[in-house]
Amino acid sequence: TEGVVDPYYKWQERNERYIDSIAQVAKANPDEWRVILSYKITPDLNNLQQKTSDYIYCRMLEKGEGTMKPIYTDSVMMHYRGKLIPLYDGSEVVFDQSYKGELNTETAVPVSFGVWDGAGGVIEGWSSVLQQMVEGDRWEVHIPYQLGYGIHGRDVIPGYSALVFDMQLVKIMTNR
- Per-residue pLDDT tens digits for 60-104: 999 999 999 999 999 999 999 999 999 988 899 999 999 999 999
pLDDT bracket for residue 174 (50, 70, 90): confident
pLDDT for 165 beyond 70: yes
> Which residues are paired to 122 by β-bridges?
117
The percentage of residues in the chain with a pLDDT greater than 90, rounded to a whole number, is: 81
Give the model's pLDDT for residue 4. Answer: 66
CA distance 82 to 16: 18
Span 51-65, average pLDDT: 96
Task: Tell me the whole-structure pTM to 2 decimals.
Answer: 0.93
Q: Per DSSP, what are the bridge partners of residue 136? A: none
* Structure confidence at residue 122 (pLDDT): 93
pLDDT digits (tens, 9 = 90+) for 20-44: 999 999 999 999 999 999 998 877 6
Supply the pLDDT for residue 41. 84
Q: What was the pLDDT predicted at 98?
A: 96
- pLDDT at 157 exceeding the cut of 70: yes
Determine contact, residues 38/56, Cβ cutoff 8 Å.
yes
CB atoms within 10 A of CB 123: 19
CB 137 within 8 A of CB 130: no
